[in-house]
Chain A
Amino acid sequence: MQPILKTENVTIQFGGQVAVDHVSCEIPEKHFKSIIGPNGAGKTTFFNLLSGELKPTEGDIFLRGESISKLSSVERARKGIGRSFQITNVFPNLTVLENVRLAVQSRAGICYQMFRYSSSYKQLIEETEKILSEVILVDKKDAIASQLSHGEKRKLEIAMLIALDSTILLLDEPTAGMSLEEVPIILDVIRNIKLAGEKTILLIEHKMDLILDLSDSIMVLFNGQLIADGSPKEIMNNEMVENAYLGGLYDDDIIKS
């Protein structure tokens, strides 16, 4: 079967620094792939290349066999690549409801309507509220996004991604900085998306238990290079990964704590 997403020698250089170095991988449709690696390994940069925030200096990215390297992030979003951001990235001065409604109306394609109040689109608002209740945020629908807690912002981020209904979801550390009570909510949301079996998911995470539980396969980045790509079992038994990643993780944990 043709992979839904494929990269061929994707490389990006910032000055002399090679952030992502000749990464080639294939992601089959409806697959759950996690990307791991120590901080600075190029995971988020790789996501930026996939979603179009950055353009590769070398190599090519294919969506269903068609090259998308030259497309802007807007065009890629329309083609079904949705992403969440590692650093919370919502519309700070809009309410929670408005944030998600923007995503819903983008998918519904009614963003060009100028002469009708947004509030008159009952169906749109119902749908928005449904998504908000999925991430347990519906109580806060009238709160201004900038006043939410960090965890709530992460939930909002996920809600917007669900609302977009993209075929490929790029999740960049969705549980980072969340409180212990909030993590399971997001995990359930992600697990439900996986169980529904509709989406192809790429996940960047540090929590290994979570990754092993959810992933169909795992790829490991180190210094921008893809050093391993395989089933969770293969990755866990890979010596190179252990040296590169777990060594790195150890350092990270020291820095973080």
Chain B
Amino acid sequence: MIAKMRGNYLLLTIIIIALALFPFVSDSRTLTILLTQIFIFAILAMSYDVLLGYTGIVSFGHAMFFGIGAYATAIILKKTEPTMLSFFLSIIVGMLLAGIVSFIIGLLTLRLQSHFFAMFTLAVSGLFLVAAEKSRTLTQGNDGFTFRAPEFFADRTTFYLFVLACLLIIFLLLRLFVHSPFGSVLIAVKENETRSAALGYKAIYYKVMSSVVAGVVASLAGSLYVVSLRFVNTSVMGIDITLNALLMTIIGGVGTLVGPILGAAIIQLAQHNLSNLAKTYPIFERWIIFFGIIYILAVIFFPKGVVGTIREKLGRKS
């Protein structure tokens, strides 16, 4: 058991070091940017896993928290001098807003049964999307706007390393969170709500807190995402973002935290490569169709996701 854990830590350290050294070894700018995107979506997918995998909540509105972070950072960097201070401030503002919004929405709706909750989140995130489109003075709607990133991030490598550090910190924090006494109650509520009530656990409280944590982390991912693009438009609030997070979590392995990171890598690489293939084979213009096929196959053959299936084969408990 302990040897196994040491092995895991060793593997983790090796992967981290390899990823940290990557930009110094490779001079492929495209690959560095792609990896940065993977890390950002990995953070988003992990936050979704806290909801889906550890609390059993299906949300179709996760993009709104991503969007809140994205707009908070973009607007603050646009309106103020793009320093690191205002960057960090914008992250905190985004997280606070996301936390408050998820708290209120959670409190209002998490008493609903799961599918009603899912529909409600879809509606609310639609509302946020429309709000972003209509508040043109602030967001310039669908056209979006560009802004300058802090000088510190001018070098793609620095930003890459910064995002990698964020991913590592969030991963370790969330792992602590789901393995804490609080996290074990989340799993209990997901598994059997009646039983957890008989043990004195009020499900709604734990569900709301879980959705706040997920919202706050998603907001961080949004902040990082717009800095990587130096551009923001309403697509950050779109359903595509939520569906991506959902796919990454499911394909990687629900309720594993490592899975969503892997899922983010798989989906981002697939998107990148499939759309590249379109240059030679026009059929790949419709790469999203292939994507659907990959997804269906994954759900049929790996219902527990890549990591879940591997763990099952190794015969150990998640």
Beta-carbon contact of B192 and A101 below 8 Å: no
* B275 is an interface residue with CB less than 8 A from chain A: no
Chain A CB within 8 A of B271 CB: no
Which of B177, B192, B195 is the one whose CB lies under 8 Å from A114? B177
Contact call B184/A98, Cβ cutoff below 8 A:
yes
Taking the complex as formed, is A64 at the interface, i.e. its CB lies under 8 A from any CB of chain B?
no
Contacts of B185 in A (CB 8 A): 102, 105, 111
Q: Quick check: A91 and B195 within 8 Å, CB to CB?
A: yes
CB neighbours (8 Å) of A14 from chain B are none
B10 to chain A, nearest CB (A): 19
- Is A93 positioned at the interface, with any CB of B under 8 Å from its CB? yes
- Per-residue CB contact flags for chain A residues 73-111 toward chain B (1 = under 8 Å, else 0) read 110011000110100011111110010011101110011
Q: Given the complex, which residues of B lie within 8 Å of A98, measured CB to CB? A: 184
Candidates B179, B182, B191, B198; contact of A82 at CB < 8 Å: B198
- From B184, B192, B200, give the contact of A90 (CB < 8 A): B192
Q: How far is it, in angstroms, between the C-alpha of A115 and the C-alpha of B184 when the chains are bound?
A: 12
Nearest-neighbor residue (CB-CB) of B195 within chain A: A89
Q: Judge whether A74 and B191 touch: CB under 8 Å.
A: no
Bound CA–CA A90/B202 (angstroms) = 17
Q: In whole angstroms, how far apart are the Cα atoms of A116 and B176 in the complex?
A: 6
Interface check A121, CB cutoff 8 A? yes
In this complex, the interface size class of chain A, counting residues with CB under 8 Å from chain B, is: 35 or more
Docked CA distance A91–B190 (Å): 9
Q: Which residues of A contact B180 (CB under 8 A)?
A: 113-118
Instruction: Kindly provide the distance from the CB of B127 to the nearest chain A CB, expressed in whole angstroms.
Output: 30
Q: Which of A53, A82, A118 contacts B181 (CB 8 A)?
A: A118
Nearest-Cβ distance from residue A174 to partner chain B, whole angstroms:
15
How far is A62 from B150 in the complex, measured between Cα atoms in Å? 65
Contact B199 A117 (CB under 8 A): no
Q: Whole-angstrom distance from the CB of B185 to the nearest CB of chain A?
A: 5
Give complex CA distance A102, B187 in Å.
10
Q: Which residues of B contact A203 (CB under 8 A)?
A: none
Seed contacts A77-B199, A85-B195, A111-B185; 4 additional CB < 8 Å A-B pairs: A91-B192, A110-B181, A117-B176, A164-B199
Chain B interfacial positions (CB closer than 8 Å to A): 176-177, 179-185, 187-188, 191-192, 194-202, 317
